[in-house]
Structure 1
Amino acid sequence: MIKNIKHKMIKNIKHKWLIKMCLCIVVTLIFSRQGYSQENNIAQYRIVTHSSSIDANQTGHLVVDGNSKTYWEAHYKDKNQFLLIDLNSKQKANTLTIEWGVNFATEYTISIISDHKSEEVFSTDNGIGGNQVLDLQGKEVQFVRIDISDVNDTVRGCSINEVVVLGQNNNRFKPSEVNQISANNLSLNNSKWRVQSTAMVNESVAEISNTGYNDTKWIPAKVPGTILGDYYNFGALPDPLYGDNMHQISDEFFSGNDFWYRTEVQFSSELANKKIYLNFSGINYKSDIYINGKQLGRIEGGFLRGEYEVSDFVNLDKPNTIAVLVHHNDNWVSGTFKILKKKLGSRISNGDMLGLDGPTSLASAGWNWLPIIKGRNNGIWNNVNFRVGGSISIKDPWVSTKFQSKDLKKADLTISTELKNSSSKAINGKLIARLNGKIRLEVAVTVAANETKTVILDKSKFSKLSIKKPKLWWPNGYGEQILQDLDLEFIVDGKISDKKNIKYGIRELEYKIQEGVLFIYCNNTRILLKGGNWGLPEAMMRMDYAGYDLRVKLHKDANFNMIRNWIGMTNHEEFYQACDKYGVLIFDDFWLANPKNGPNPNNLDLFMENAKDKIKWVRKHPSLAFYCGRNEGIPLLEYDQAMKKQTELLDGTRHYVQNSAAGTLSGYGPYEVKTPEWYFKRRGATLHSEIGIIAIPEIESLRKMMPKKDLWPISDMWSVHNYQDSRSHKYTDDLEERYGKATSAVDYSNKAQLLNYETGKAMFETLQSKQGSGMILWMSQSAWPSLICQLYDHYLEYTASYFAVKKGSSNIHAFWDIDRNEIRVANNTREDIKKATIKATIFDAQGNVVWSQEKPISITSTSVKTSFPLVHTPADKVLYLKLELTRKGKVLSDNFYWLENKNKNCLDLNDLPKADIKLNIVESSENNFYTAKIKLTNTSGNISLLNKIKLKDKVTGESILPVHFDDDYVSLLPNEVKTINIKVDKKYLKNKNVEMHLEGWNTKGLKLDINKK
């Protein structure tokens, strides 16, 4: 019976013919393309939260997608379920319609919520399904909540096909903007696109891909981007990266459907009689390209470029339509081994059947460091633009270098480029090359009809390409990153058919196998490779030039000189440009994961078309170090042979390795935290492609990534954010054994920074000590809010690991080799260090000297040298070791360790007295940046550990990010003074009251206002 009706209700209609008639009327009112001016469905594409779903596909947001064929179905194990629809703001609602599914609620209540007040508008214990319409009489509503207590089916959960709320508001769906394309504006990278699932579109391809089609009700789309990102940006989904919201999103809807993109273009009349080309830099997974109803072609594979001449198909006197049909992955459905929802104790299940579709965004199938990304990052994820010119196109130019001798005084440059003739007749013309606007070269070229021709300019034809005293490009830490300009033009009958500019660096890489290990030399200098793995640039591919520039600079600032592009997941030109700019070499994988993480691709031809295209556009970058065929395995023979052949044929200047973890490289972690002794005994002598780090973030970031109720104790939500079986549990055990049992999330995070610092530094100090080829951290870039595998987190807040690794990777570095028990100095520069002094001192917690020694030392370039043994016996309490390398009064390197007590732990750090730190700040401006020189003075009689500077918004209390520090997490002896330099873009400070915070392990907190001017 009906328990309570507070407002007029149209009762459940029992007769089938009436149900159909009523539904017809409702659907007509709601979904008609006309008549939206008075009433709109204010629930459509709004955020919906469900209590549970029967699987990864039938999720809550499907009840507001405008399609009765999709539905939410709750899990059957618990009859108590709810559905919450967020209308985004208070809105006047006229009617609420619920289309119940086959499994309908029999006992439930419906409430509306506004201003944090809930009002029950309907309740029954005798629900009969069908279509239910409630008259809400214009009430203000922000949330609609349906609470379910019982259902009509004992073996299935409750299902709802659609929820419609009719109300009066400003229509969210605005007419699309038309792109205005001219010679000075050829980009289609913007938000003037629309996207929609083919499941929601009934019209023909011809209608959709022609001008005049009404796509007003489609989702606004940003290109480059992903389909999932577009729905989130429009407010149709909760933040997929917060809490367990990814489980609120239907996998089938986003991963198992094809999607249309549309945009309209108006060309300027100045483009009349010009050749117009449409270029796509990357669409995942496969796509059909249309303009004005004409199919231009198909792009197959997630990383293949496409260029189409559209001159004959465009109109200059009216808008033109570009439409792209993006096809979903063939093998998006998860295999039976895959863990779809992580819980504490869940086993690791990396990769999936998606490997069959390679190359595609394989990482988005989910790994131990990343959830399954719904939609698998399908969409137009890379740049789109027009090019205007003649029939000859300049394709993929690049410059290679060969030095005539070891003294680097003369470099021979070779310029290579392809010329493509898109016409049906041979064309004669001139290729003109200019280097830095100074050296001009010219060559006559004939390109046959429809031919793509390779043209090479070298010293055999042009003596000017032998450069005297060249300005060189060096990896980070070994010299400057001097980038120079190559400008190419192809002239036909006195007119420019095409022109191209690229940046190049004069440098030569050599590859030497020494005792079975691959070593890399740049410009005749051995490079100690220090770096990190990137799995994805960002979970939803939200990365532009500024984002790449910032993150690669963070690697440069951490004294890294290499990033591994793990299984080829980072493919934006802007990433390679940033690596060129900052001297960060790229260890570049193709798209093959560990064979255990999914099957081999099923189409060699598709794979190799993508691979050949990749080689052509990446080879121009001086930062590209070498190619790798497969992660942790040998590729199938035909793949291996094809990749090796094409890297030699299309590049020829770079090394190719089969396997990231065997042969001349090593790998396989470990991924759990080990003691510093372990690293010094067992790592550092090879080129090691993956060595794991946990790196729990700071408490503020923990609060950003999950609800407060899940912060403590450690819960399943931690597992959603990659707190995983064995590795993370071991991390916690090690943390509590060494630093004491954690009592809260704050305490856990604080203690984690101690462990982060110790272990992160040791990983790279062992490389410094053994002078192996290189160490590549697993991982350095955080693709999503995670509890593992990062130096800075997804919010760009540093962990202590960042500054530990920065310290351990210093180009000139004094350190303690715990295995040899020696104080050593590494010099990873091109200059010898002469007449320096190394000093080592052990202190107690009050700063009293326990032992000290100093000694003169000189170290040749790219080498390591022992100074003296450390004399140390573990005491009752933790002691502290400080190292300083000085020359002529200048500190070249300093270092700091806490030494475990005789019980092999550091528990007494919990008893350290609070230390007083005085701050002196000298503020200044540098262009658009706020800068400050901060002097920290320990005025107390106690050691002060891991002091960290933060800038915070006084109103919200949140940290201002990102901020660049030359050091942080610094430890101070009594009366010691340290200076930290910071730099932050003023745009992050705008309209904020900013204060500087000092925090530390045992430091009394400080807050100081800053001057932003």
Structure 2
Amino acid sequence: MRTEIGTAVFTNFESFKKFMPQDSWWPRNEMWDKHFFGPSALNAGPDTYMSTIDKSYGPSQGIEEFCRKAQLLNIEVNKAMFEGWQHNMWNDASGVLTWMSQSAYPSMVWQTYDYYYDLNGAYWGAKKACEPIHVQWNSGDNSVKVVNTTSNALQTLNVEATVFNMDGKPVPSMSLKKSLTTVPSNSATPALTLNLNPENLAFKAPMTASSDEGDGKLPADATDGGIGSRWSSLYSDDQWIIVDLGASKTFNQVHLIWESAFGKAYKIQVSDNKTSWRDVYSTEDGDGGSDFLEFPATNARYVRMLGVKRASQWGYSLYEFEVYNQRSQNLSNVHFVELKLRDNKGKLLSENFYWRSLKGSDYQDLNTLPKAQLKVVQKTTEKAGKVRMNVTVSNPQDAPVALAIRLMPTFKSSGQQILPVMMTDNYFSLMKGQSKTVEIEFDKSLLGKDVVELKVEPYNRG
């Protein structure tokens, strides 16, 4: 069992303003540390958490904007903690236990729902990952697996992966379907692998290298199509990694995505026999990051990155080694991966949704999404001391993407959030023409003489 895994989890603005004096709202200050968002948070990593939001979703101008962006990170991180274990189910641990479910004091760390019982993005990320029948995507190798943690095997399932651009239009060339005959109990069964870069001649190509650091940092990890894995060499200057294209092919570009251990001086070399090499590119001034290298078109079977001088005390490390003859921009910089799992009668068993970037973890283009234009139909009933709301949220066919839609029941008289509330879903996203029905329930006694008013707020609310 992997225990006490957790992270900073910033609250929604509605909870934040309940415990934080208004003169301490923004920017970050000593008062935040009294609620464990500073040195007192120890290994919860609030500094990393805040810098990640800034880099991934852009710097915030105020606390309300920061809280809204924090929920996207909360969803990402907490879903990934459980899906990461499920991807390697039973291989290295028998489960994951997060620290913790709820903070006993108004806090900004270690929680999946907050002190006031608000179910923020962390809760919905964890809930999605932990559904008994689940379909998930691994950003490290672009594989899609079906996870079955029930006591029974599942028969005849259909998996569908659809890639959407920022404009909400699907990308058919990168979308796949697959039928599975059986998914055993307590297993994660491979279904399909997305190729989100079909023009990359090196995708899944055989790799060899002068050295590597073992599992998780092997040569093959540099051509798996994802930046969640990498090849890493031993700590010396003279190291290399070779792509085998399988046959002689024409190409004129190499794309290297470096980890922080990059090459200060290196060469790109080609060969037909893996013995005699000729240079097509060289530099003595490498700066890491993402290197798009162009050279006159050449024909060869093997392509080698030959390290000459390291930029650090470490070796050389590449997230991806890509080779191209042509490169067209089929994907927007930020795009979406939607997964659906159905039985043989078409019943939806699981669905999942991710945002992905061609620039690593830079999702700032999400801030340019046009204002969502949602339609909401709701029915509210009272029975046995409970208020029950049946809410259908629809995104019109001609409307933009609606990202991370949050439903929040409030008191009509004050606009304040009603808590605690049970819901079947939240922070869901809708493409063009899609809809979702959510059930909401809370104790009628919470209302008193007031009435409920539902707020529906997507991330791109304008």
Q: TM bucket by the smaller chain? A: 0.5 to 0.7
Q: 1:62-120: CA deviations, max 9, x gaps?
A: xxxxxxxxxxxxxxxxxxxxxxxxxxxxxxxxxxxxxxxxxxxxxxxxxxxxxxxxxxx
SS at 2:118 equivalent: coil
Mapped to 2, the partners of 1:926 and 1:810 lie a distance apart of 28
SS at 2:47 equivalent: helix
Mapped to 2, the partners of 1:870 and 1:768 lie a distance apart of 18
Q: 2:104 corresponds to which letter in structure 1?
A: A
Shift of 1:820: 3.1
Q: 2:88 corresponds to which letter in structure 1?
A: K
Q: 1:922 corresponds to which letter in structure 2?
A: K
Q: 1:915 corresponds to which letter in structure 2?
A: A
Is the contact between residue 754 and residue 800 of structure 1 (CA under 8 Å) also seen in structure 2? yes
Correspondent of 1:932 among 360, 385, 389: 389
Corresponding residue of 1:954: 412
Is the contact between residue 948 and residue 998 of structure 1 (CA under 8 Å) also seen in structure 2? yes
Is the contact between residue 962 and residue 984 of structure 1 (CA under 8 Å) also seen in structure 2? yes
SS at 2:339 equivalent: strand
Correspondent of 2:72 among 748, 754, 774: 754
Corresponding residue of 2:9: 695
SS at 1:987 equivalent: helix
Mapped to 2, the partners of 1:767 and 1:800 lie a distance apart of 20
Shift of 1:902: 2.9
Corresponding residue of 1:515: none
Mapped to 2, the partners of 1:703 and 1:911 lie a distance apart of 27
Is the contact between residue 36 and residue 109 of structure 2 (CA under 8 Å) also seen in structure 1? yes
Shift of 1:876: 4.5
Aligned pairs for 1:431-442 within 5 A:
none
Q: Which structure 1 residue ranges, 5 or more long, are not aligned? A: 1-686, 1005-1013
Aligned pairs for 1:443-522 within 5 A:
none
SS at 1:771 equivalent: coil
Is the contact between residue 8 and residue 108 of structure 2 (CA under 8 Å) also seen in structure 1? yes
Q: 2:72 corresponds to which letter in structure 1?
A: L
Shift of 1:711: 0.3
Correspondent of 1:907 among 358, 361, 364: 364
Corresponding residue of 1:737: 55
Is the contact between residue 9 and residue 122 of structure 2 (CA under 8 Å) also seen in structure 1? yes
Corresponding residue of 2:183: 859
Q: 1:184-219: CA deviations, max 9, x gaps?
A: xxxxxxxxxxxxxxxxxxxxxxxxxxxxxxxxxxxx
Is the contact between residue 143 and residue 194 of structure 2 (CA under 8 Å) also seen in structure 1? yes
SS at 2:393 equivalent: strand
Q: 1:262-312: CA deviations, max 9, x gaps?
A: xxxxxxxxxxxxxxxxxxxxxxxxxxxxxxxxxxxxxxxxxxxxxxxxxxx
Q: 1:671-703: CA deviations, max 9, x gaps?
A: xxxxxxxxxxxxxxxx11111121100011110
Corresponding residue of 2:339: 883
Is the contact between residue 690 and residue 778 of structure 1 (CA under 8 Å) also seen in structure 2? yes
Shift of 1:903: 5.5
Corresponding residue of 1:765: 83
Mapped to 2, the partners of 1:788 and 1:970 lie a distance apart of 23
Q: 1:467-525: CA deviations, max 9, x gaps?
A: xxxxxxxxxxxxxxxxxxxxxxxxxxxxxxxxxxxxxxxxxxxxxxxxxxxxxxxxxxx
Shift of 1:787: 0.8
Mapped to 2, the partners of 1:859 and 1:700 lie a distance apart of 42
| Identity over aligned pairs, percent | 33
Corresponding residue of 2:195: 871
Correspondent of 2:151 among 806, 830, 833: 830
1:720 aligns with 2:178: no
Corresponding residue of 1:525: none
TM-score by length of 1: 0.31
Mapped to 1, the partners of 2:141 and 2:73 lie a distance apart of 22
Mapped to 2, the partners of 1:736 and 1:798 lie a distance apart of 23
Corresponding residue of 2:457: 999
Corresponding residue of 1:295: none
Shift of 1:989: 1.5
SS at 1:849 equivalent: coil
Is the contact between residue 768 and residue 809 of structure 1 (CA under 8 Å) also seen in structure 2? no
Aligned pairs for 1:348-497 within 5 A:
none
SS at 2:442 equivalent: strand
SS at 1:693 equivalent: coil
Corresponding residue of 2:227: none
Aligned residue pairs total 318
Q: 1:366-403: CA deviations, max 9, x gaps?
A: xxxxxxxxxxxxxxxxxxxxxxxxxxxxxxxxxxxxxx
Is the contact between residue 86 and residue 188 of structure 2 (CA under 8 Å) also seen in structure 1? yes
Q: 1:896 corresponds to which letter in structure 2?
A: F
Q: 1:623-650: CA deviations, max 9, x gaps?
A: xxxxxxxxxxxxxxxxxxxxxxxxxxxx
Q: 1:790 corresponds to which letter in structure 2?
A: Q
Q: Which structure 2 residue ranges, 5 or more long, are not aligned? A: 198-328
Corresponding residue of 1:475: none
Aligned pairs for 1:501-580 within 5 A:
none
Is the contact between residue 421 and residue 440 of structure 2 (CA under 8 Å) also seen in structure 1? yes
Corresponding residue of 1:83: none
Is the contact between residue 378 and residue 389 of structure 2 (CA under 8 Å) also seen in structure 1? yes
Shift of 1:712: 0.5
Correspondent of 2:126 among 805, 810, 825: 805
Is the contact between residue 964 and residue 983 of structure 1 (CA under 8 Å) also seen in structure 2? yes
Q: 1:110-159: CA deviations, max 9, x gaps?
A: xxxxxxxxxxxxxxxxxxxxxxxxxxxxxxxxxxxxxxxxxxxxxxxxxx
Is the contact between residue 693 and residue 779 of structure 1 (CA under 8 Å) also seen in structure 2? no
1:920 aligns with 2:382: no
Mapped to 2, the partners of 1:923 and 1:767 lie a distance apart of 39
Q: 1:700 corresponds to which letter in structure 2?
A: E
Q: 1:952-986: CA deviations, max 9, x gaps?
A: 11222210101100110111111111111111111
Q: 1:760 to 1:886 in 2, by over 3 A?
A: same
Shift of 1:869: 0.6
Q: 1:753 corresponds to which letter in structure 2?
A: Q
Is the contact between residue 917 and residue 1003 of structure 1 (CA under 8 Å) also seen in structure 2? no
Shift of 1:780: 1.0
Aligned pairs for 1:789-804 within 5 A:
789-804=110-125
Mapped to 2, the partners of 1:763 and 1:903 lie a distance apart of 19
1:894 aligns with 2:215: no
Q: 2:46 corresponds to which letter in structure 1?
A: S
Shift of 1:799: 1.2
Mapped to 2, the partners of 1:859 and 1:691 lie a distance apart of 28
Mapped to 2, the partners of 1:941 and 1:844 lie a distance apart of 14
Corresponding residue of 1:786: 107
Larger relative CO (CA 8 A, sep 6+): 1 or 2? 2
Mapped to 2, the partners of 1:690 and 1:823 lie a distance apart of 27
Aligned pairs for 1:128-277 within 5 A:
none
Q: 1:978 corresponds to which letter in structure 2?
A: K
SS at 1:737 equivalent: helix
Structure number, greater radius of gyration: 1
Mapped to 2, the partners of 1:736 and 1:706 lie a distance apart of 22
Is the contact between residue 166 and residue 335 of structure 2 (CA under 8 Å) also seen in structure 1? yes
Mapped to 2, the partners of 1:930 and 1:901 lie a distance apart of 45
Is the contact between residue 389 and residue 441 of structure 2 (CA under 8 Å) also seen in structure 1? yes
Q: 2:175 corresponds to which letter in structure 1?
A: S
Is the contact between residue 947 and residue 1003 of structure 1 (CA under 8 Å) also seen in structure 2? no
Is the contact between residue 935 and residue 979 of structure 1 (CA under 8 Å) also seen in structure 2? yes
Mapped to 2, the partners of 1:847 and 1:951 lie a distance apart of 28
Q: 1:650-672: CA deviations, max 9, x gaps?
A: xxxxxxxxxxxxxxxxxxxxxxx
